[in-house]
Amino acid sequence: MTWLTPTIAAIAAAIAVPSLIILYFLKLRRRDVEISTTLLWKKTIQDIQANAPFQRLRRNILLLLQLIVLGGVLAAVAQPQVHGEISAGKQRVILIDRSASMASTDGDADHTGSQAGAMTRLAKAKESALKLVDSLREPGVLGTGVADQAMVIAFDTTAEVRQQFTGDKAQLRAAIGSIEVSDAPSLLSEALRLARAHLPEKTMTDVVKDEAGNVISEQNITVEGVKAGGATIHLYSDGRLPDAEQAITSAEDEVTFVQVGRTDAANVGITAMRADRAFDSPVDISLYVGLQNTGRAAQDVELELLIDGVTARVTTITVPPASAPVELTDEADDDARALAAALPWRPGVTGRTFEFQRNEGGVFAVQIRAADEGADLLPVDNRAWMIVPPARQLSVALVSTGNLFLITALEGLPLARLVQFTPEQYSASAARGEMDGFDVVIFDGWLPTIDGRPGLPPGRFLVLGGLPAPLGEAAGTEPGPAMILDWRRDHQVMRLLLLDKLQMLKLPDIVVPEDSGATVLAEADRGPAILELAGAQTRALVVPFDIGQSTWPLDVSFVVFVGAGVNYLGQEGGVFGGSGDALRPGSVLTDRRPIGAKGVQLEMPWGEGRASVQPATDGRIAFGPIRRAGLYEVSWTGQAGAGDTVDGSEVTRVYAANLLDPGESDIAAAPLLRITGEAIAAESAEETRAVIRLWPWVILAALAVLMLEWFIYNRKVHF
């Protein structure tokens, strides 16, 4: 038990208790009254001491009761309270998960329970965090004593400090109350890094002693760059944290995991969506939708396809149930059964492909409707969007001295026009302005010279076996053998590739300047192997090695790369036809406006308002990280690109943001969390014991004693 204001109570007791006792020391001062009988002389003799100012203190039940009442009042002034199972730490860090799964509406359901409540998990987490804030110790009346401090961090894919370390409970409550759920997935590592960055630096005591071992001086030294340990971290989440094992905490930190949500919560959601036009017939569209079920029983759902807001198809799909992580035999012991119960179940998955013919582009949306919509705990993954461009065949120019593999791959594409040039022919045609009619130009083993260096003019380019400026080779190095280590699987061009077997005979050591606008799409053991280069009027995919001196042309992934790369560059750099599945809540919306675009405005989904966006000098815009899934509309005054909507002088471009995260759609709360190799058992939000204030009960008891004192006094006087 602790006392919030013991100093005030002590001062009041030092004044009130002696005052009460002195009142009982004082004698009663009587006045002379004529009486008609001497029967009252006996009582008068008992009070004869009234002639003196003080009397001997006698046993008096009224004094005892009044002292008890006064003691209760003074104890209430000291504000006694009992803390729950919360250890005292130098700093308290309140981490609140605001990711998509925290919008599940089972926050106030009991954990055995079958009935889902109306409170979201985030609301329950905030309610539990507010109890923690109420339990923080406060300084004494004179500002002395040890006081607890806390900071509030809200996190999903990114983390945000909502309140720096403070002991002001009002500020902490306001910070917690302002947290809103987002539609982004959840990552814990960033939140813990942010928390450690705000911890004070570690201090060490430097003790100087003489030869006899006597202490001469002591000095506290701050260790710069080393954060102090001993923080108490309170994590409020449903435990759906895929990077928890990679998160790092200090050995001195104490982590409390407060779990919200049911461990048996089930959900059906959309976890994948992809739209493609056939290479050989661009009018043919295939729209694939993947679904996931984490429940123990199969679910029948209606899947509805809408094009520009109008229903186009409706079909019924049976999503299979989740399966047990391991199959147990009858001979399995209790330990094996306990381990199997702790492991997550494998969700049931299925999919459906919609195929149809459509020349026009548009906004394609799919949504699922369960037989019992009230039982769906997570609505955000019931709908997804995709921006599909209009059917278009591209014109491609190939500048090469001859490459059989590349020519064969290009001839298999449904291009409107494919023209081959030698470097000399290209230079002559470019000088006459005849290359403007091509959507994409492919440079194979050759690059034009721009300002005395190999470079690229304005346009869309696929570069093979070249390194255009501002990229360059590291000085004093020679190209050498290399193999691919990793590549960006979320990029539209790279997502369908398998490059783990790709080997190169000669890959240069590439230097990528910070202001080059280059993005590494594939990384080899010698450095970047495939890059995307973006400038004010130029966009290019760059493969800096000679494909003829690699194993790539013999792999089907080379044909896929050429086809996807040409389509990506030809469709305005991939703004449409696939970018929607890469834009997710928690990421930053980036694109380029045509040079000279003015009045750029961003319309939020679900009527959440508009925001002004200031383009960079090269036309690039950036907004985010975005928090909600839905359709974002960017409008401006100026030139329009392919697929943009033009209304008078205003141009509009639409972007789709979807959750599409199997891990986030699996909403079964985790009973165990492993952080930095340590298993942390969940503490239920319902079972969390916060502060129990005792002073109201003390006041109630004092009032009861006061009533008893009143009764005894009246009994002595009137009876």
Cis link prior to 625 (omega < 30° from 0)? yes
pLDDT at 36: 66
Give yes or no for a contact between 259 and 671, defined as CB atoms under 8 angstroms apart: yes
Give yes or no for a contact between 395 and 439, defined as CB atoms under 8 angstroms apart: yes
pLDDT at 621: 85
**DSSP string for residues in 389-424:** PPP-PPEEEEE-S--HHHHHHHHTS--SEEEEE-HH
pLDDT at 591: 80
Strands (DSSP E) contained in 15-166 are 80-82, 91-97, 150-155, 159-166
Which range, of 406-410, 569-573, 689-693, averages the lowest pLDDT? 689-693
Return the SS3 of 305. Answer: strand
User: Which residue bears the tokens 């949500």?
Assistant: 261
Q: What is the pLDDT of residues 454-469, one digit of tens each?
A: 999 988 999 999 999 8
- Per the model's pLDDT, the better-predicted residue between 707 and 636 turns out to be 636
The amino acid present at 403, given as its one-letter code, is N
Return the SS3 of 318. Answer: strand
pLDDT at 59: 59
Percent of the chain with pLDDT over 70: 71
Which tokens belong to 484? 């691919």
Which of 666, 660, 100 shows the shortest CA–CA distance to 385? 660
Which tokens belong to 10? 């002590």
Q: How far apart are the first and last CA of the chain?
A: 44
Q: How far is CA 628 from the centre of its chain?
A: 12
What is the rounded CA–CA span in Å between residue 82 and residue 689? Answer: 10
What is the rounded CA–CA span in Å between residue 49 and residue 14? Answer: 29
Strand pairing of 630-637 and 620-623?
Answer: unpaired
Q: What angle do CA 492, 497, 500 make, to 5 degrees?
A: 135
Q: What angle do CA 203, 209, 214 make, to 5 degrees?
A: 120
Examine the pLDDT at 513 and tell me if it is beyond 70.
Answer: yes
Instruction: Give φ, ψ of 4 to 5 degrees.
Output: -75, -40
Which range, of 39-43, 54-58, 398-402, 475-479, averages the lowest pLDDT? 54-58
pLDDT at 162: 94
Return the SS3 of 216. Answer: strand
Q: Looking at 26-112, list the stretches that DSSP marks H as alpha helix, in order from N- to C-terminal side.
A: 41-46, 61-77
Strand pairing of 310-319 and 299-307?
Answer: antiparallel
Examine the pLDDT at 112 and tell me if it is beyond 50.
Answer: no
Give yes or no for a contact between 213 and 197, defined as CB atoms under 8 angstroms apart: no
Give yes or no for a contact between 449 and 427, defined as CB atoms under 8 angstroms apart: no
- Give the number of other CB atoms < 10 A from CB of residue 145: 14
Q: What is the pLDDT of residues 350-385, one digit of tens each?
A: 999 999 888 888 899 999 976 565 568 898 999 999
pLDDT at 159: 93
User: Which one of 41-50, 355-364, 578-587 scores highest in mean pLDDT?
Assistant: 355-364
- Per the model's pLDDT, the better-predicted residue between 299 and 342 turns out to be 299
pLDDT at 289: 94
What is the rounded CA–CA span in Å between residue 49 and residue 45? Answer: 8
pLDDT at 580: 38
- Give the number of other CB atoms < 10 A from CB of residue 556: 9
Which tokens belong to 669? 């709360």
pLDDT at 72: 67
Examine the pLDDT at 718 and tell me if it is beyond 60.
Answer: no
**DSSP string for residues in 458-486:** SEEEEEES---TT-EEPTT---EEEEEEE
Average pLDDT, rounded, for the chain: 79
Which of 573, 553, 554 shows the shortest CA–CA distance to 564? 573
Domains of the chain in sequence order: 2-82+695-718 (no CATH), 91-200+226-264+667-690 (3.40.50.410), 268-390 (2.60.40.10), 395-570 (3.40.50.880), 589-657 (no CATH)
